[in-house]
Structure formats: structure tokens, C-alpha cells
Structure 1
Amino acid sequence: MPLEVNEIGIQLRVRDGADASSSDKPSTPVGDCGCSDEKKERQAMVEECLRRVLQVLRARQER
């Protein structure tokens, strides 16, 4: 019997050694000018992954 997945929930939390010490501080909004290049690059990577996942889900739904 085939298994059909209708919905996928994805949660992602990315940390490195430098971020672990500052985990008590609230994160800065992504659109804020105070973001470092590393945070902007990480956010762009997350957005690209999300875009690709949604694209695959839409393609499967259209079939």
C-alpha cells in the first residue's frame, strides 16, 4: 500500500560555537541593518532551501 505525504513540517535551528554563547539574547530581525554578512548568507541559504522544498511540493500537488 503506497504512503502519501500531504504535508511536511520543517523546523531548522542553525548554530555554531560563537552563537551558542549568545543564545540568551533575542535574535535580530532579518531585515534589520545590524545583521552581519554571515547571518545574511545563512538566511539566504535557508530561504533558498525553503523555496526549493515548496517548489517540489507544488510540483507533486499538480500531478
Structure 2
Amino acid sequence: MHRVVTKYKDRNRNVVIEHGPWHPTRQEAQRWADLLAQSGYRVDIESRGAEEGGGSSNADLAQALASMA
């Protein structure tokens, strides 16, 4: 799973970070990232899941819940 993260500055020069929806393929996320970059946004692609070596999302969830205890 992959999503596009956009970064821009608002009127007060504060950095605004927005996370887009998750896409099943990196190619689809890259297509959106390219369109947004052409519009002047700074973009990154965020990935999760075993496909990118990010580990199991269940393991990530377990770690997050353990840190809250």
C-alpha cells in the first residue's frame, strides 16, 4: 500500500502536511505524485506493508499499542 504525502506552506508560512488515500500499487501513487508535483506541491510517497520491506502492518499495530500501555 502506498500513499502520496503533500507538503506546502499556508498564508502564514506554516508547513502543512496532508496524507492522501492509500493506493494498492506504487505506480498508481506515483501517478498522483507526478500530477501534484506538476501543480507545485512537494510530494513524497509513503509505503507500508511487506511489499516494501516495511514489515507486517500487524506488527506495527502491536508495537504502537504496546507503546501506549
More RCO (CA 8 Å, sep 6+) = 2
Larger helix percent: 1
Larger strand percent: 2
Q: Which has the larger radius of gyration?
A: 1
